[in-house]
């Protein structure tokens, strides 16, 4: 029988992972995964083992139930793939490599390099790893307590409780399916081929889910399906700018809540928290000289720990060079050469540190100097002045409406007190002074003039 390739999306130890399994049949592949404690979420037979979403495929050799196996895992980085296999899935990986036709020597070189960087990763993230280990142990301990508690409950009660939960999820799956179908029917003319295909795939997955009796799997399928549906809804709104955007996500978000998900579909323009965070970030960014590097390395990637390894090598070289400098203090020619070597090493250390720490100096802001920050400061002053002017304009319209209403009704009950007039005059003068303050010299003239006006106004009125 020929060997086939299957791509599985599985869950184990509360972690989701994707594996590509080679087996004679789907049943033997499923049986192998079930023996290792996996919950299978979805699977498909594939002919091409390359990743469909831009991720890379890595091959790894291991022993499963005493048999040598060669499997594949999808990831964007070989070190991340090894960390997941080693720490999350607890595999004893004998080799990990990218080239399927790698020789034994090439596998050994790749494994040695990845293993060295993995040890460096564990040194750097020792505290985080220990916390994760304790959390896992706590979960396992709580799970044992729950199992012990369940032994005191009758088997009929447990089965009844599980059945009720599964029935509830089946009902939610059906509502999610109805929601997906209604979106296809309502937007049939507006959907692109990709959107229509994806929604049809989601609908098929939800139909198949009605036969599933695993509560966790039903919950995961329901949540992920609704999030994918919400993403397409967002695309439709952005493309068509339809008026019903405020209520378009209500049913989808309600179903997500019923599935126990904390996620929520919200348009960017309706997300007040996101708007506030963006505003605060933009204000801070104006004055920030040290910025995040947009080309920064992922701190758990192969490339990152390669840079850390290089940094350690340069530090070692610096230490050796310093020792040579001390021993060659009397030899001027050698001293000059060693000082030059030391300078180059320090420059390399400085560059590697900046890349590793994901920070870079904004040389543009430094070169612009004080004038740059003056522009920002007086720009903010002008913004405050404009805001006050807009507020006064709105207040003027309101005051005009009050006077007209009083004239029509022959009543003065809605007329404003003199204190309000004083306050309006004060803010009008203050806004005028702020708008005049374009530079320090105009600011030093406008502010004393405003103070003089304020004193005069208070004495006479």
- Identify the three-state secondary structure at position 12: strand
For the ranges 50-59, 152-161, 298-307, 418-427, the lowest mean pLDDT is seen at 152-161
H-run or E-run covering 440 = helix 440-460
Q: 3-state secondary structure string, 334-369?
A: HHHHHHHHHHHHHHHHHHHHHHHCCEEECHHHHHHH
Q: What is the pTM of this model?
A: 0.42
H-run or E-run covering 45 = strand 39-46
Question: pLDDT tens digits, residue range 283-333?
Answer: 566 556 555 555 556 667 787 888 888 888 888 988 888 888 887 766 666
What is the arithmetic mean of pLDDT over 52-79?
77
Give the start-end residues of each E strand in 67-136. 67-75, 93-97
* pLDDT at residue 145 is higher than 60: no
What is the arithmetic mean of pLDDT over 414-422?
62
Residue 206's pLDDT is what?
Answer: 87
Q: What percent of the chain has pLDDT over 70?
A: 75
Q: Provide the token pair at 402.
A: 């009050």
Q: Which residue bears the tokens 């048999």?
A: 67
370-379's contacts with Cβ under 8 Å and 24+ in sequence apart are 373/287, 374/439, 374/440, 376/286, 376/287, 378/437, 378/438, 378/439, 378/443
Q: Do the Cβ atoms of 184 and 177 come closer than 8 Å?
A: no
* pLDDT at residue 6 is higher than 50: yes
Cα–Cα nearest to 98, from 75, 116, 115, 120: 75
Question: pLDDT tens digits, residue range 92-109?
Answer: 888 998 887 888 888 888
* pLDDT at residue 150 is higher than 50: no
Question: pLDDT tens digits, residue range 229-274?
Answer: 888 888 887 776 455 555 667 777 777 888 777 777 766 555 566 6
| Cβ neighbours of 19 (radius 10 Å) | 20
- Cα 173 to Cα 96, 169, 260, 370: the distances in Å are 39, 6, 13, 61
* pLDDT at residue 438 is higher than 60: yes
Q: Quote the radius of gyration of the chain (alpha carbons, Å).
A: 33
Identify the band that residue 158 occupies on the pLDDT scale cut at 50, 70 and 90: very low
Question: pLDDT tens digits, residue range 186-211?
Answer: 777 778 888 888 888 888 888 888 88
Q: Is 154 exposed, middle or buried (0-12, 13-18, 19+ CB in 10 A)?
A: exposed
Sign of CA dihedral 43, 48, 49, 54: negative
Distance of CA 184 to the CA centre of its chain: 29
Cα–Cα nearest to 33, from 20, 46, 44: 20
């Amino acid at each position: 029988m020929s060997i086939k390739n299957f791509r599985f999306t599985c869950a184990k130890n509360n972690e989701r992972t994707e594996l590509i399994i080679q087996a004679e049949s789907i049943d033997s592949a499923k049986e192998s995964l079930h023996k290792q404690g996996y919950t299978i979420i979805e699977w498909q037979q594939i002919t091409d083992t390359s990743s469909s979403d831009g991720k890379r495929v890595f091959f790894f050799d291991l022993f499963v139930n005493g048999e040598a196996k060669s499997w594949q895992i999808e990831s964007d980085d070989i070190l991340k793939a090894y960390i997941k296999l080693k720490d999350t899935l607890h595999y004893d990986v004998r080799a990990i490599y990218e080239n399927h036709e790698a020789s034994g020597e090439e596998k050994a070189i790749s494994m040695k390099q990845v293993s060295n960087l993995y040890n460096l990763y564990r040194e750097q993230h020792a505290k985080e790893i220990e916390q994760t280990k304790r959390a896992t142990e706590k979960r396992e301990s709580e799970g044992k307590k729950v199992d012990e508690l369940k032994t005191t409950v009758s088997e009929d009660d447990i089965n009844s409780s599980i059945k009720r939960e599964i029935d509830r999820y089946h009902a939610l799956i059906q509502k999610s399916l109805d929601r997906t179908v209604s979106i296809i029917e309502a937007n049939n003319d507006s959907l692109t081929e990709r959107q229509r295909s994806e929604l049809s795939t989601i609908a098929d997955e939800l139909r198949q889910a009605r036969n599933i009796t695993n509560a966790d799997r039903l919950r995961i399928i329901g949540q992920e399906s609704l999030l994918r549906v919400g993403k397409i809804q967002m695309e439709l709104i952005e493309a068509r700018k339809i008026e019903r955007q405020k209520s378009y996500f209500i049913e989808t978000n309600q179903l997500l809540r019923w599935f126990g998900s904390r996620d929520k579909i919200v348009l960017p323009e309706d997300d007040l928290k996101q708007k506030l965070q963006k505003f605060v970030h933009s204000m801070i960014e104006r004055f920030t000289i040290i910025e995040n590097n947009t080309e920064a390395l992922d701190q758990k990637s192969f490339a990152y720990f390669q840079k850390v390894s290089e940094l350690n090598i340069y530090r070692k070289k610096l230490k050796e060079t310093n020792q040579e400098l001390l021993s060659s203090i009397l030899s001027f020619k050698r001293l000059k050469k060693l000082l030059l070597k030391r300078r180059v090493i320090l420059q390399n250390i400085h560059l590697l540190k900046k890349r590793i720490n994901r920070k870079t100096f904004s040389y543009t802001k430094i070169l612009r100097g004080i004038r740059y920050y003056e522009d920002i400061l007086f720009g903010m002053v002008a913004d405050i002045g404009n805001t006050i002017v807009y507020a006064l304009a709105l207040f003027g319209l309101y005051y005009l409406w009050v006077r007209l209403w009083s004239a029509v009704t022959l009543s003065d009950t809605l007329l404003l007190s003199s204190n309000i007039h004083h306050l309006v005059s004060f803010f009008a003068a203050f806004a005028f002074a702020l708008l005049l303050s374009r530079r320090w010299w105009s600011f030093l003239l406008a502010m004393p003039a405003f103070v003089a006006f304020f004193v005069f106004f208070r004495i006479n009125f």
